[in-house]
Chains A and B, each alone.
Chain A
Amino acid sequence: MRFNKVTPDLQKEMSIAFSEVSFSYHPEQDPVINKVSLEANPGDVIGIKGSSGSGKTTLFRLLLGFETPTSGKILYKGKELKPERIKVLRKQTSWLPQDLDLGEGPLSEVFFYPFTFKANKSKIPSEEKVLEIFAALGLNKNIWTQLFSDLSTGQRQRVGLALGYLMDKNILILDEPTSALDDESKEKVENLLFDGTRIIISASHDPWWLERCSKVIDLNAS
């Protein structure tokens, strides 16, 4: 594990904290997230564990501004993450959902769409580089011309990890990143993503992955 490359400046520049955050979908229902607190600084790999329905994915939705906490605060760079600052945060994040949906076209087309965003334009990779990362993740290059919708869940997950790596963001948010990977591929993911400078927040059931996290938060305990 490599968690020691953070300079004090970077530490100040990027940090995410949840302070007693609760959330429920309806006011009369029990909260899905109940007073969760966490802090993530550059170099941290946070693992969030908990049974199905314990709110792991909801936690990411809150961080990315797709839901709003019913109480508590989310802080980014030490300041409360208000709606207008969500957009600033999203330019720094790469999110890998459990079931990636890039669109209907062939992978060779839809893969590059996120690199047309102004925030990612400087990171456009060459096709050779993409296929090199695919090979590192155990993806056959034949999938490049297949329709994205025809790929298996495991292939889509690896494609998402390749995108997350190539976008080279400061904050990676990964939902069950290793659920469809074998041990060899998991090690490759670790080598690619754990660079010691970025924040990685991940939800996982996988003991192998959780062992490699610098902090583990159990949502069942909150």
Chain B
Amino acid sequence: MDIIDLTWPQLAIGFAILIIPAFILWKFKTGLLSKMGIAVVRMTLQLIFVGYYLEYLFEYDNAWINMGWIFIMVVVADYATIDRSELKRTKGLLISIFGATFLGIIIIDIFFLRFVIQLPELLAAQYTIPITGMVLGNCLRSNVIGINEFYYGLSGHQERYRYFLANGASRREAIYPFFQGALKKSANPTLASMATIGLVSLPGMMTGQILSGSSPLIAIKYQIMIMLAIFSGTILSVYLGIRFSSKFVFDKQDNFNKNILKKN
């Protein structure tokens, strides 16, 4: 069957289905109707914007422009990670989370684009942009879970941290259990989704590929690759995010500076 290009009027019909969730949310007085309206408008406008600038990126297909796009996306992810982790935007945190996310993304990109897909031109837009976008989105989610768990865990159990220090632990030894807890918590959603993928849901990227005409067998190979990239990228960026940012949140005596927390 030929690919059916969805027209804008056809897409507009799709919005009609929102009557159902809107009615349910209104009936139960959830107070979420305006939030739903804003979310739908934002989602639509953001994706239209993305569509247009991706057209531009694909047309020019220049490695430097693509790198610039990755840089900007990582800066946006950096601010979002710190805000959603309920941390204050200090210079040290902004630089360290940026460094961790950027390094994590670059390592994953180079590995998959150069050694797995074996692109003749590194950073070709058609591959770099979707793979980076998928990995970065997941890194953001995992970083928020991991970094929030680490710093709020440390704050909530400060006496435990101090007990370890006062009984001979180095800072690295004293934060180890909190680091371990943060890695576990951030890895769990991706592990759960890997364990059920294909059984209870078809992933978005694979669905998109199939809808746009790819064979399901090509689509699953890319999907497996992207799941490996997402899992490795998220663990790496959470690890680097905590490792780098922890350089800026302890004083000379290894005391944790609670002032970096929005809620303390």
Contacts and interface: CB of A to CB of B under 8 A. Distances in A.
Contacts, number: 74
Contacts of B255: 65-66
Interface string B160-183: 101111111110010001000000
B117 to A, nearest CB: 42
Interface residues of B, number: 19
A87 B165 CA distance: 8
Interface of A: 64-66, 68, 83-84, 86-87, 90-95, 97, 99-103, 113-114, 116-120, 163, 167, 169, 173
A167 B252 contact: no
Q: Chain A contact residues: over half helix, strand or loop, or mixed?
A: loop
B178 to A, nearest CB: 10
A175 to B, nearest CB: 11
Given A65-B253, A66-B255, A91 B168 contact: yes
Interface in B58-90: none
Contacts of A120: 167-168
B166 A114 contact: no
Given A66-B253, A117-B173, A102 B166 contact: no
B157 interface: yes
A101 B252 contact: no
B251 interface: yes
A199 to B, nearest CB: 14
B121 interface: no
B254 A87 contact: yes
Given A65-B255, A66-B253, A114-B164, 11 more contacts: A64-B165, A83-B251, A87-B254, A93-B166, A93-B167, A113-B164, A114-B168, A117-B167, A117-B170, A117-B173, A118-B173
8 contacts: A66-B253, A83-B252, A83-B253, A94-B167, A95-B163, A103-B177, A117-B164, A120-B167
B168 A64 contact: no
Contacts of B253: 65-66, 68, 83, 86-87
Contacts of A64: 162, 165-166
A173 B253 CA distance: 18
- Scoring B167, B253, B254, B255 by chain A CB atoms within 10 A of each residue's CB, the highest score goes to B167
Given A66-B253, A66-B255, A101 B157 contact: yes
Contact of A117 (B157, B160, B169, B252): B169
A131 to B, nearest CB: 21
